[in-house]
Amino acid sequence: MAVAPNGDVYVSGADRVQYFTSTGSFLGKFGISGSCNGMFKNPRGLAFSPNGTRIYVADCNNFRVQYFRLSGVAVAPTSLGRVKALFK
């Protein structure tokens, strides 16, 4: 779970990221199960860029980190090989 600079709350799980207002009202979701850009297998960690324009998602079972604009559109995942090499 992570809180955006505007106060919205982002939660990862079930192969997607959902986001809510600070009072708990559902705003939207992005991601489906899979291994292509914008897809997840067991997303676990979330973080925002320092300027708050991107959200980073640790996509555990795909061995990568993907980042997204706050609108939920995929920008670019890291390479599978690089992330695997870091955690061997």
**Would you state the pLDDT for residue 46?**
95
Q: What are the domain boundaries of the chain?
A: 2-86
Total residue length of the chain: 88
Q: What is the mean pLDDT for each group of 10 consecutive residues in the chain (88 residues)?
A: 92 93 92 91 92 89 87 53 48
CB half-sphere exposure, 9, CA atoms < 13 A: 9
pTM: 0.79
**Would you state the pLDDT for residue 88?**
43
Annotation: CATH topology of 2-86? Thrombin, subunit H (2.40.10)
